[in-house]
Amino acid sequence: MANWTKEPQPFGANHTPLLTGLSSTDGETPVPVAVDPATGALITEGGGGSGGGTSSTFGATFPTTGTAVGATNGTDMEPLQVDGSGYLEVNVETSALPTGAATAANQATMITDLGLVSTSSNQTNGTQQTKLTNGTNIADVVAGDTGFNGVATASATKTYTFTTSTSGAQTLLANTPTEGFAIVEVVYTSVGVGLALAGQFSATSGGTYVNNSTFENGGTNAGVTPLGAVLGTTYTSTVRGNYFQIAVSALTSGTFTGTVTLRAAPISQRSMAAVQTGTWTVGSNSATGSAVPANAFYIAGTNGGNLTGIGVGAVGDSSSTGNVGVYANARMEVYNGTSQDMARSATAANNTTGTGLLGVAELEWDGTNYQRIPSARFAPSTTKLNTNSYHITTNTTNTPTASTAYISSIAISAEVGGTTSSITIQDKQGTPLKLVNGLSTTAVTTAPTIISFHTPVLMTSGIDIITAGAVAGTVDVWINWFQ
């Protein structure tokens, strides 16, 4: 609405406006009305255009008065309607759905085919299925899959066949997936001539394949071996990788055919080998000397026919202490040269005779039999063995000992021959007894002169080793004596 406050105003005669209207404020005061000079359109307060209703500025307070909005139904003007919350009401009469869109009919088909829920309104009738099936069971679905079975059931198996008549090295069933399976089973129906092969596993398809040596040969308890090539034998191994193949290294002629079966469930084992590692504690942990525990292991032996226990008791040792020892309820036998006979213990009254008497003396081989060595052949029991060696280059006297001794052996070797040189070994009593008297050392020896006494020889008051001659030789001496 135009509002002129200054002259000149477009009044007519007597200063009366050409067109007036009532103020919207009080409904009484007349106000002038103007039109666009170019178009002749009535000028409203918002400026431009003509027609009824109101004109508002975006972002301004919603006006108290407004213009009703309508729409055509194709012929007449119809009002637009809103609900009690002020939301525009829309009634979609028809809508063309895209191909594959969800419908009630499609949903019912999916429920039936997948067996997700029962189509019956009664959900407690026992017919509801909560697993993926083909209407019968999951095994039919998984076993029929020709690819990788991420979830293989216990009854799932998959069998591959192979055949080749090509000679030489080649790979059969390359990169066969084994994921989801536990056992691989190989059976041949024909092996040709000159066949050599290996079963291989790899972590990845086309990756590095490693020969497998854990095949069992038809359950013969022969242990695990590499994949063999025997016709009519079932070779079974646990799956060792995600992919399997048969690597043929040789085939001279003929046809090689067979099957590889993958099984999700492991086969039953007829036997199992036990391997002990670490320390095993057998029996109870009762303290020594305590009462026999109820769960202790009982140790026994056989008397040739029956099981006989082994016990412990006090061993008589001519003292009052009574040491604890092991005794057997069945007697021990020894071979007496003719037959097995009961072993006997030696007594003061009879310590040298009696069938089965255990030997109480040291034995020696006499060329025919082992015989007891007489005690006279030994040095006194209070002595012990002594040894010494000498490298002699001059005429001199060496004294291994200045006390009574018993010589058991002497070895003499000449490294450099002397002139009229010799060696003497004698005791040290007033008139010495010469055990070795002037043994010549003028010639070099390649092996020593060895003197060994069956029973040690008495050397009273000690032992002297004397070298003499015009020019002394170089002599080595080894001497053993008891003292």
| Amino acid letter for position 431 | T
> Mean pLDDT for the chain?
77
* CATH number of the domain within which 188 lies: 2.60.120
Highest mean pLDDT pick, 95-99, 122-126, 275-279: 95-99
Kindly state whether residue 218 falls inside one of the protein's structural domains. Answer: yes
Q: Which pLDDT score, from 0 to 100, does residue 151 have?
A: 53
pLDDT > 50? residue 348: no
146 or 288, which is more confident?
288
Kindly state whether residue 464 falls inside one of the protein's structural domains. Answer: yes
Closest CA to 192 of 149, 250, 136, 237: 250
Kindly state whether residue 95 falls inside one of the protein's structural domains. Answer: no
pLDDT > 50? residue 302: yes
What radius of gyration do the chain's Cα atoms show?
60
Predicted confidence (pLDDT) per residue in 191-229, tens digit: 999 999 999 999 999 999 999 988 988 655 567 889 999
CA distance 206 to 178: 14
**Mean pLDDT across the stretch 389-394?**
96
Q: Which residue matches tokens 């009535």?
A: 42
Given 245, 263, 281, which residue is the final one in a domain?
Answer: 263
Q: Which pLDDT score, from 0 to 100, does residue 66 have?
A: 74
pLDDT > 50? residue 126: no
Number of domains within the chain: 3
Residue 295, burial from CB neighbour count under 10 angstroms (0-12, 13-18, 19+): exposed
Could you tell me the pLDDT band of residue 468, with boundaries at 50, 70 and 90?
Answer: very high
Alpha carbon dihedral 126, 128, 134, 137, in 10-degree steps, equals: -40
Highest mean pLDDT pick, 92-96, 379-383, 444-448: 444-448
Q: Which pLDDT score, from 0 to 100, does residue 295 have?
A: 67
Contacts of residue 321, Cβ cutoff 8 Å, sequence gap at least 6: none
**Mean pLDDT across the stretch 397-418?**
95
Q: Which pLDDT score, from 0 to 100, does residue 421 have?
A: 94
CA distance 310 to 345: 20
Domain residues for 463?
385-482
How are strands ordered across the β-sheet holding 210-211? 170-177, 243-250, 196-202, 210-211
pLDDT > 60? residue 141: no
On whether the CB atoms of residues 474 and 445 are closer than 8 A, the answer is no
Q: What is the pTM of this model?
A: 0.33
Q: Which pLDDT score, from 0 to 100, does residue 99 have?
A: 74
Kindly state whether residue 15 falls inside one of the protein's structural domains. Answer: yes
CA distance 465 to 426: 7
Q: How far is CA 425 from CA 77, 198, 433, 447, in A?
A: 156, 78, 9, 19
Instruction: Determine which of 147-151, 184-188, 364-368 has the lowest per-residue pLDDT on average.
Output: 147-151
Kindly state whether residue 118 falls inside one of the protein's structural domains. Answer: no
Predicted confidence (pLDDT) per residue in 45-60, tens digit: 644 444 455 667 777 8
Cis, bond preceding 8 (omega within 30 deg of 0): yes
CA distance 44 to 418: 158
Given 232, 263, 294, which residue is the final one in a domain?
Answer: 263
| Amino acid letter for position 198 | A
Predicted confidence (pLDDT) per residue in 249-261, tens digit: 999 999 999 999 9
Kindly state whether residue 82 falls inside one of the protein's structural domains. Answer: no
CA distance 481 to 404: 10
Q: Which pLDDT score, from 0 to 100, does residue 31 have?
A: 78
CA distance 316 to 323: 7
Q: Which pLDDT score, from 0 to 100, does residue 479 have?
A: 96
Kindly state whether residue 150 falls inside one of the protein's structural domains. Answer: no
Q: Which pLDDT score, from 0 to 100, does residue 428 have?
A: 96
Kindly state whether residue 230 falls inside one of the protein's structural domains. Answer: yes
Q: Which pLDDT score, from 0 to 100, does residue 454 have?
A: 84
Q: What percent of the chain has pLDDT over 70?
A: 64
Highest mean pLDDT pick, 5-9, 27-31, 149-153, 444-448: 444-448
| Amino acid letter for position 438 | G
Q: Which pLDDT score, from 0 to 100, does residue 320 have?
A: 45
pLDDT > 90? residue 381: no
Q: How far is CA 2 from CA 32, 36, 263, in A?
A: 7, 11, 95
What are the phi and psi torsion angles at 143 (to 5°)? -65, -25
Residue 359, burial from CB neighbour count under 10 angstroms (0-12, 13-18, 19+): exposed
Q: Which pLDDT score, from 0 to 100, does residue 311 have?
A: 64
pLDDT > 60? residue 143: no
On whether the CB atoms of residues 191 and 231 are closer than 8 A, the answer is yes
Given 220, 241, 263, which residue is the final one in a domain?
Answer: 263
CA distance 251 to 234: 20
Highest mean pLDDT pick, 121-125, 143-147, 465-469: 465-469
